[in-house]
Amino acid sequence: MALYVEKFGGTSVGSVERIDAVARQVARTRSEGHDVVVVVSAMSGETNRLQAMATEVHARASARELDVLLSTGEQVTIALLAMALDKRGCAARSYTGAQVHILTDNIHGKARIMEIDAEPIRRDLAEGRVVVVAGFQGADCDGNITTLGRGGSDTTAVALAAALKADECRIFTDVDGVYTADPRIVPEARRLERITVEEMLELSSLGAKVLQTRSVEFAGKYRVPLRVLSAFEAGGGTLISYEEDDMEQALISGIAHNRDEAKLTILGVPDEPGIAVRILGPVADAHINVDMIIQNVGEDGSTNFTFTVHRNDFPKAMEILEKTAKDVKAREVRGADDIAKVSVIGVGMRSHAGVASTMFKTLAEEGINIQMISTSEIKISVVLADKYLELAVRTLHKAFGLDQGQEG
Ligand code: ADP
Ligand code: ASP
Ligand code: MG
């Protein structure tokens, strides 16, 4: 008897037939004697549809009301799944995030889970019921509905698995595991049997949306046994590993890409102590995350400062930066959202030199200009014009020997 938390994403519950198929699978696991907590996303496309409706009503809808709206997508699928389970004679109860006490902070649209009271779920399980929980949502301490950021159902699942000390958290999706690159862009990409949690964290945060970054953070913190599998066919999927040693150490494990960023530059800023905080402080105060940062001093002794933010935050960040520019008497502000970021990731990089030069040489040979670079111990990221994104990912995939049939 084991306890599994099983999460099904948007495509996996994308129609009534699909919900029925999920119910069949969950009922089978249940009939094998295991306890199951199911987390579901909204039907695919639904969260976008709700978002678009909100924008139609109000271009700058309040974040609180947006969360009330966006969270409804998941409320539909939990109820339908509970009904489908009931039809199969499998006792089940559905709950919203707030109902199972998923307590978050009050940052609407990207709330963080702070606490989960797992007792009510345990009671249901003890009484032989499958518990179906709405992903992507919680409530703050005043009872306001919050959402966890796009893709947040993964985080609901891993957080529940941690709180319940589940034997495994299984993320069922429309691919059969984690690949060396997004299979939609690189048909030659290979499924990884295992990936270290560190590498998975980099892959996710650098754009591989197969797992939401926060879900991987949670998994790492609480060492949640975590596996990514296909909702459509049987197979072992990809196991997130906490032991680096037992991995065959490929130099590069994967390539991630991200089209969701925009670049802002403030030119002709006085080069003096405190300037970085004067530029980035107001951006942070608006809860806008800054990713890459470059500062360089020009010939006249003034400095240019470039940074990237999520594309959704671009208009707001531009507005803030224009204001800062006036305060610090900068010469000019520029912005561009026709950029993309490509990153190569691998723990093998720690013990091998030359990854950066291979990466830069490969891009140069394709005539691709690099606009920004950032590195960490296990990854190198570059920003380039978004029209080169697919070419860059495919040629790097090949250059690092990740293509199917090649030696890794
Ligand atoms: P779900 O709706 O189940 O949460 P997502 O669309 O959020 O599914 O995530 C699955 C998608 O992630 C895949 O269809 C794939 O295109 C994309 N993806 C990006 N990078 C990778 C990768 N390295 N491995 C597997 N899938 C990836
Ligand atoms: N439905 C939400 C989204 O589309 C959450 C999720 O699917 O994980 O982002
Ligand atoms: Mg997802």
For residue 227, how far is its CA from the centre of ligand 3 (angstroms)?
Answer: 14
Please report the pLDDT score of residue 408 as a whole number: 46
Asked if 163 and 284 sit in the same domain, the reply is no
Please report the pLDDT score of residue 243 as a whole number: 81
Atom of ligand 1 at shortest distance to CA of 228? Answer: 25
How confident is the model over 212-236, as pLDDT tens digits? 999 999 999 999 999 999 999 999 9
For residue 351, how far is its CA from the centre of ligand 3 (angstroms)?
Answer: 32
Distances (CA, A) of 326 to 9, 107, 214, 320, 330: 46, 29, 36, 10, 6
Residue 405: pLDDT band (50, 70, 90) is low
Asked if 55 and 153 sit in the same domain, the reply is yes
HEC per residue, the chain = CCEEEEEECCHHHCCHHHHHHHHHHHHHHHHCCCEEEEEECCCCCHHHHHHHHHHHHCCCCCHHHHHHHHCHHHHHHHHHHHHHHHHCCCCEEEECCHHHCEEECCCCCCCCEEEECCHHHHHHHHCCCEEEEECCEEECCCCCEEECCCCCHHHHHHHHHHHHCCCEEEEEECCCCCECCCCCCCCCCCECCEEEHHHHHHHHHCCCCCCCHHHHHHHHHHCCCEEEEECCCCCCCEEEECCCCCCCCCCCCEEEEECCEEEEEEEEECCCCCHHHHHHHHHHHCCCCEEEEEEEECCCCCEEEEEEEEHHHHHHHHHHHHHHHHHCCCCEEEEECCEEEEEEECHHHHHCCCHHHHHHHHHHHCCCCCCEEEEECCEEEEEEEHHHHHHHHHHHHHHCCCCCCCCC
Residue 249: pLDDT band (50, 70, 90) is low
Asked if 266 and 167 sit in the same domain, the reply is no
Final residue before a domain boundary, out of 174, 203, 238: 174
Please report the pLDDT score of residue 296 as a whole number: 86
Is residue 220 a part of any domain in this protein? no
Q: Rounded to an integer, what distance in angstroms lies between the CA atom of residue 154 and that of residue 215?
A: 6
* pLDDT tops 80 at residue 15: yes
Q: Within 6 Å (CB) of ligand 2, which residues are found?
A: 9-10, 41-42, 47, 73, 135-136, 150-153
Asked if 24 and 165 sit in the same domain, the reply is yes
Please report the pLDDT score of residue 301 as a whole number: 84
Is residue 7 a part of any domain in this protein? yes
How confident is the model over 157-193, as pLDDT tens digits? 999 999 999 999 999 999 999 999 999 999 999 999 9
Is residue 56 a part of any domain in this protein? yes
Extract the tokens encoding 209.
């949306």
* pLDDT tops 70 at residue 407: no
Non-local (6+) Cβ contacts of 380 within 8 A are 343, 344, 349, 355, 356, 359, 373, 374
Extract the tokens encoding 402.
């990740």
Atom of ligand 2 at shortest distance to CA of 10? Answer: 7
Q: Are 78 and 44 in contact (CB under 8 A)?
A: no
How confident is the model over 96-110, as pLDDT tens digits? 999 999 999 999 999
Question: Which residue among 182, 184, 210, 394 is best mutated to probe the pocket of ligand 1, counting the most ligand atoms within 8 A of its Cβ?
Answer: 210
* pLDDT tops 80 at residue 247: no
Indicate if ligand 1 lies below 6 Å from the C-beta of 130.
Answer: no
Please report the pLDDT score of residue 248 as a whole number: 60
95 strand-pairing partners: 133
* pLDDT tops 80 at residue 385: yes
Whose Cα sits closest to atom 6 in ligand 2? 151
* pLDDT tops 60 at residue 246: no
Atom of ligand 1 at shortest distance to CA of 172? Answer: 3
Is residue 86 a part of any domain in this protein? yes
Is residue 221 a part of any domain in this protein? no
How confident is the model over 35-79, as pLDDT tens digits? 999 999 999 999 999 999 999 999 989 999 999 999 999 999 999
For residue 288, how far is its CA from the centre of ligand 3 (angstroms)?
Answer: 22
Asked if 159 and 287 sit in the same domain, the reply is no
Indicate if ligand 1 lies below 6 Å from the C-beta of 266.
Answer: no
Range from 62-76, 291-305, 350-364 that averages highest in pLDDT? 62-76
Say which range, 83-92, 251-260, 350-359, has the weakest mean pLDDT. Answer: 350-359
Final residue before a domain boundary, out of 134, 152, 174: 174
Is residue 169 a part of any domain in this protein? yes
CA angle 208, 45, 152 (to 5 degrees): 45
Asked if 261 and 385 sit in the same domain, the reply is yes
Atom of ligand 2 at shortest distance to CA of 41? Answer: 7
Please report the pLDDT score of residue 33 as a whole number: 96
Q: Rounded to an integer, what distance in angstroms lies between the CA atom of residue 327 and that of residue 322?
A: 9
Write down the mean pLDDT value for the chain.
Answer: 95
Is residue 144 a part of any domain in this protein? yes
For residue 377, how far is its CA from the centre of ligand 1 (angstroms)?
Answer: 25
Number of folded domains that form the chain: 2
For residue 99, how far is its CA from the centre of ligand 1 (angstroms)?
Answer: 29
Residue 245: pLDDT band (50, 70, 90) is low
Final residue before a domain boundary, out of 174, 194, 209: 174
Residue 159 lies in domain: 3-174
* pLDDT tops 80 at residue 151: yes
Residues above pLDDT 70, as percent of the chain: 98
How confident is the model over 307-353, as pLDDT tens digits? 999 998 999 999 999 999 999 999 999 999 999 999 999 998 988 88
